[in-house]
């Protein structure tokens, strides 16, 4: 669904077309240079040449440049620097290919495809006047699909190694507890709880990695909509945190995942567990946004807010599930009347 801003859209197109006829700002070429640096950091196998320090430096650089890539690719797409964007991307991909070799072609193509398509879709759909909730969901879906395609083999290998990892973890934990002087009964109780928690972590490893990729996209997306809001205030594409919510349209996905978890086979249950973990994380964010909304409405002091969130943090999983449940309930109750505001 599009927002009906035909006059604003025509004005934006006119301004942008005028800018296209002017000389391109130096920042555009800085973006192209950043693409090359990203390819070198992410696919240049620097650890082979520089050792462990090089690997760490390349990983940290690639992580933050990924966020930056989502931000600037969306900018270029929004400003209609189409040919410049794709020329720079193709050059960066070619450089990455020569650095990483034929064996990493799949990782390279899915990685750059994720950045380019998600970033370009964010920019172009925002320019076309689509609601930002829709823009974000489309971008997040692209990231999820491409990241899953990229990581499928890694997940399979990791899950195959999970029993051995769990056994090694238990053996090391037992030796550690023996060294602390724990009794056999206390060790057994601790190991049972630790094994369950560790097995859950291993089982939800795909969800954890997908959420990590979505976090990078989300930060880049937020930076982009803030940039658009500053550049063209009439566009009003930034949604304050206190009004974030998960659309009710995700409820059927949640129901299907729960049913698959209850009646499906092992493979379906594994997929359902990871889908539920991802949905729970988003519902938790929506729940926190709702809580922050009412704390602001009640004019709670900053000190009490900090104390509240610290106490909430110490509730750990119990607090997480309660907040996620609140976020889920708000997806159809709409206590903040977010849907009504979108219709204005």
Q: For 14-23, what is each residue's pLDDT tens digit?
A: 444 444 434 4
Look at 168 and 19; give whichever has higher pLDDT. 168
- pTM: predicted TM-score of the whole model, two decimal places: 0.85
Question: By the 8 A CB rule, do 70 and 140 touch?
Answer: no
Rounded average pLDDT over 229-247? 83
Cα first-last separation, the chain:
14
Per-residue tokens: 299: 């004019």
Distance from C-alpha of 328 to C-alpha of 324, rounded to nearest angstrom: 6
Q: Which residue has the higher pLDDT, 196 or 155?
A: 155
pLDDT for 323:
94
10 Å Cβ neighbour count for 139?
Answer: 27
Rg of the chain over all Cα atoms, to the nearest angstrom: 23
Other beta carbons within 10 Å of 6:
10
- In the chain, the percentage of residues whose pLDDT exceeds 70 is 88
Identify the residue with better confidence: 5 or 45: 45
DSSP state of 23: P
In whole angstroms, give the CA distance from residue 317 to residue 325: 12
């Amino acid at each position: 669904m599009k927002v009906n801003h035909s006059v604003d859209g025509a004005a934006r197109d006119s301004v942008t077309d005028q800018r296209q006829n002017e000389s391109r700002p130096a920042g555009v070429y800085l973006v192209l240079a950043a693409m090359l640096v990203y390819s070198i950091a992410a696919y240049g196998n620097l650890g082979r040449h520089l050792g462990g320090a090089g690997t760490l430096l390349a990983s940290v650089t690639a992580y933050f440049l990924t966020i930056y890539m989502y931000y600037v690719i969306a900018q270029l797409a929004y400003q209609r620097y189409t040919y410049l964007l794709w020329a720079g991307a193709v050059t960066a991909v070619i450089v990455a290919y020569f650095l990483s070799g034929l064996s990493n072609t799949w990782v390279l193509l899915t990685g750059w495809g994720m950045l380019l398509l998600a970033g370009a879709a964010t920019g172009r759909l925002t320019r076309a006047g689509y609601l930002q909730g829709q823009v974000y969901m489309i971008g997040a879906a692209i990231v999820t699909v491409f990241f899953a395609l990229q990581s499928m083999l890694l997940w399979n290998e990791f899950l195959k190694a999970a029993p051995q990892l769990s056994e090694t973890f238990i053996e090391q934990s037992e030796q550690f507890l023996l060294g602390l002087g724990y009794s056999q009964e206390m060790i057994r109780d601790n190991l049972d709880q630790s094994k369950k928690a560790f097995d859950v972590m291993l089982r939800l490893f795909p969800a954890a990695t997908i959420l990590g990729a979505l976090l990078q996209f989300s930060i880049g997306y937020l930076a982009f909509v803030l940039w658009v809001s500053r550049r063209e205030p009439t566009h009003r594409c930034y949604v304050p945190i206190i009004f974030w919510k998960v659309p009710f349209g995700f409820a059927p996905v949640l129901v299907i995942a729960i049913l698959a978890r209850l009646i499906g086979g092992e493979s379906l249950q594994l997929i359902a567990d990871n889908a539920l973990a991802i949905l729970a994380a988003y519902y938790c964010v929506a729940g926190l946004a709702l809580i922050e909304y009412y704390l602001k409405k009640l004019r709670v002091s900053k000190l009490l807010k900090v104390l509240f969130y610290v106490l909430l943090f110490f509730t750990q999983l119990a607090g997480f599930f309660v907040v996620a449940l609140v976020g889920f309930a708000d997806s159809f109750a709409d206590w903040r009347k977010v849907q009504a505001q979108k219709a204005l």
